[in-house]
């Protein structure tokens, strides 16, 4: 009998925890506006940070806040000099900003890389535009491969794409959908519409 009481009590506690959680998420959707934090690395141009904030706010209907510039710790370095491992950067974001329980985007002009599978072959430490958890609260985008031509447009496209991963979206094969995989090239992304296909739009999770 005592055991049964214990089980009932445990169930009651479990129920309370769940009820509490669902109340919080309800409040988030209706009362509190979501905030996405934007963190530049030390040499990233401040005017571009502001422009990306506008892009994010306009597209996702959220608020954004900047946090003080950061540098990447040594443990995020890849075996190639000057190139940082994007997966490790996501871990660093989680570690440093996880307590905020909000999405955090790092904007950098440093090279970032990951082991990339392209056409069945793995390319280690392959330079990429960005990486984001899917779903999750961490993403990183680099301007280092864009040059100066149409930089703002290209960067915004990748920022919105990576945040799309954070909101739960996978890569998409619909032509001109912003969630399509750049396949290591990213050709002409500055001319692509900044929009999701209807399937991706429906799949957005908060």
- Using CB under 5 A as the criterion, which residues of the chain lie in contact with Zn ion when the complex forms? 172, 174, 177, 179, 197, 200
Task: Give the strand pairing for 63-66 and 121-128.
Answer: unpaired
CB of 204 to Zn ion, least distance (A): 11
CB of 198 to Zn ion, least distance (A): 8
CB of 176 to Zn ion, least distance (A): 9
Which residue number, 71 or 174, has a Cβ lying nearer to Zn ion?
A: 174
Which residue number, 101 or 185, has a Cβ lying nearer to Zn ion?
A: 185
Which residue number, 113 or 200, has a Cβ lying nearer to Zn ion?
A: 200
Tell me how many degrees the CA angle 184-190-193 measures, rounded to the nearest 5: 105
HSE, side-chain direction, 13 A CA sphere, residue 161: 28
Transcribe 36-59 into DSSP letters.
EEEEEBTTS-HHHHHHHHHHHHHH
Which residue number, 1 or 143, has a Cβ lying nearer to Zn ion?
A: 143
Angstrom CA distances, 76 to 14, 86, 172, stand at 39, 8, 29
| CA 199 to chain centroid | 20
Which residue number, 110 or 177, has a Cβ lying nearer to Zn ion?
A: 177
- Count of Cβ atoms closer than 10 Å to residue 119 Cβ: 7
CB of 185 to Zn ion, least distance (A): 13
Which residue number, 69 or 135, has a Cβ lying nearer to Zn ion?
A: 135
List of residues 6+ apart from 131 with CB closer than 8 A: 86, 87, 89, 90, 112, 114, 139, 140, 162
Q: Which residues partner with 121 through β-bridges?
A: 118
CB of 65 to Zn ion, least distance (A): 24
List of residues 6+ apart from 54 with CB closer than 8 A: none
CB of 196 to Zn ion, least distance (A): 5
């Amino acid at each position: 009998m005592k055991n049964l009481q214990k089980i009932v009590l445990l169930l009651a506690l479990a129920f309370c925890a769940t009820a509490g959680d669902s109340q919080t998420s309800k409040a988030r959707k209706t009362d509190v506006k979501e905030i996405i934090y934007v963190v530049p690395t030390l040499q990233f141009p401040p005017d571009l940070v502001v422009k990306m904030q506008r892009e994010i706010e306009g597209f996702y209907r959220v608020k954004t806040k900047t946090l003080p510039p950061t540098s990447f710790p040594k443990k995020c370095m890849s075996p190639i000099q000057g190139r940082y491992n994007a997966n490790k950067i996501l871990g660093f974001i989680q570690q440093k900003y996880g307590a905020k329980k909000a999405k955090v985007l790092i904007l950098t002009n440093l090279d970032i890389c990951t082991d990339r599978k392209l056409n069945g072959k793995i390319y280690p430490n392959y330079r990429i535009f960005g990486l984001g958890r899917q779903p999750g609260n961490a993403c990183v985008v680099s301007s280092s491969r864009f040059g100066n031509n149409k930089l703002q447009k290209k960067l915004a496209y990748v920022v919105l794409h990576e945040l799309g991963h954070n909101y739960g979206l996978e890569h998409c094969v619909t032509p001109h959908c912003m969630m399509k995989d750049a396949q290591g090239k990213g050709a002409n992304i500055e001319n692509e519409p900044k929009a999701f296909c209807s399937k991706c739009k429906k799949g957005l999770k908060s």
